[in-house]
Amino acid sequence: MDEYGNTGEERAVRRDEAVRGAVERGLLGPDAPIVGLLDVTGIRESARELRAAFDAVTAPGTPVLHAFAVKATPLVPVLRLLREEGIGAEVASPGELALARAAGLAPARTVLDSPAKTAAELREALALGIAVNADNPQELDRIDGLMRSAVSRSPLGIRVNPQVGGGSIGATSTATETSKFGVALRDEGAREWVVRAYLERPWLSRLHAHTGSQGIPLSLMVRGVEETYALAEEINRRIGRPQIDTIDIGGGLPVNFASEATTPTYTEYARALKAGVPGLFDGRYGLVTEFGRSLLAKHGTIVARVEYAKSAGGRPVAVTHAGVQVATRTVYVPGSWPLRIAAYDGKGRPKSGPEVVQDVAGPACFAGDLLAEGRALPLLDQGDYAAALDTGAYYFAHHYAYNSLARPGVYGFVPDPQTGGVRFATVREPQTLTSIVAESGGAHVGALTTLHTPESR
């Protein structure tokens, strides 16, 4: 174990205390059968580990912006917490930009990447001075137009796809030959087009690539950065001055969903980068990173009450309140996104006892709504709780409104040394039924019955 506690033992202890505290406090119970919990201590530790890992490999004075990929956990209090830890924001939609601004993130600490930015989004970003990475030639045309009409402080770059290949999960592999992101560098004429784009635009000062997310091996991530760095070097050489002053290496550090340990670590990745691409760290380039999952995943837990414990075909089935609405990827693509499940009793204490192979089902009305299938766990009973671990990124913050299931409340927690328990803060209220009706067209109840074709009047 290193100074950051990467075996995760302390995190597991904090989590157990939080589950117990949530039941005691009534944040979780018969009338609040599902919650999301966020470990504030753990989030702070990960943010510090990220900063320390890159500080250790960069030349003194190198500007480094760690921009959290907001899509991983789009919750304003989380963005504010990360801001306090010196982390900026990477946004990819007007909604995410609004969240970052609501959290108080400065434009200079915000980066806009998205494959489908509208003209209005680009105009706003350039007016605010937010960094923008152009995804493709048509987007660069739009930026050209804006740069002719007004001055902007925005650092501007181009996103390239180094086409170094995919990982074990197709949906999160962004550097395949045909990925929809960035300028596909190995396509005929593409590299020359990119070089010319910089030659003709002295204001293009950044280069961006994000080689992929979960499922990409570290070695492939390093290759993606290597290719991007080599291109920056080539461009600066051909221009004859260091026009590209910052390289945005994207995010994508994979998360270990199989056990408590944090692996790989930011330190391992930063060292692998330094070994593979030493020139990137010699002080000639500023750096931007865009980590999402690796900052938050290990610090979130979904806890759901077992409403009924039944048996079907000899298989015990715990019917809980956590399913496809909070664990969409896991339910639809279980082979790629398995989650660890922890069993707690009705008082929120870790459950022991012999392990029994059982299904942990969700509340949605289709047969495949299973959090875990055929999993060996202490037998879950009615009134117990099942926790889906490592769900702080891309899970409970990404509600999927199947069956009009309500978004669960999300609470942050810290240990309370006075009581030995935990303290909670509301991050997001549970969704109300009124809100579900409103979001489902409730204000337009007669809209369709009063819409007639002229003849039918």
Residues of this chain that bind ligand PLP (CB under 6 A): 69, 71-72, 90, 113, 210, 213-214, 250-253, 290-294
Contact of 428 with 75, CB cutoff 8 Å:
yes
Helical residues (DSSP H) of 187-317, grouped into ranges: 190-200, 218-239, 266-276, 293-296
Tell me how far, at minimum, the Cβ of 259 lies from ligand PLP, in Å.
19
Q: Cβ 274 to ligand PLP, closest distance in Å? A: 19
Closest CA to 161 of 140, 143, 187: 187
Measured from the CB atom, is 22 or 78 closer to ligand PLP? 78
- If the CB atoms of residues 90 and 345 are measured against ligand PLP, the closer one turns out to be 90
Q: How far is the CB of 291 from ligand PLP (least distance, A)?
A: 5
Residue nearest to ligand PLP (CB): 292
Query: Is 135 within 8 Å of 117 (Cβ atoms)?
Result: yes
Q: How far is the CB of 433 from ligand PLP (least distance, A)?
A: 33
CB of 283 to ligand PLP, least distance (A): 24
Cβ-based nearer residue to ligand PLP, 213 or 320: 213
- Contact by Cβ (8 Å): 341, 362: no
Phi, psi (degrees; rounded to nearest 5) at 319: -90, 110
311 exposure class (CB count in 10 Å sphere: 0-12, 13-18, 19+): exposed
Strands 34-39, 246-248: pairing kind:
unpaired
Q: Which is nearer to ligand PLP, 337 or 344 (CB)?
A: 337
Looking at the Cβ atoms of 115 and 283, the one nearer to ligand PLP is 115
CA distance 30 to 24: 12
Least distance CB 349 / ligand PLP (angstroms): 33
Residue 32 is classified by DSSP as B
Based on CB atoms, which residue is closest to ligand PLP, 37 or 255?
255
Question: Which residues lie closer than 8 Å to 220 by C-beta, 6 or more apart?
Answer: 164, 165, 167, 175, 211, 212
Q: Are 172 and 255 in contact (CB under 8 A)?
A: no
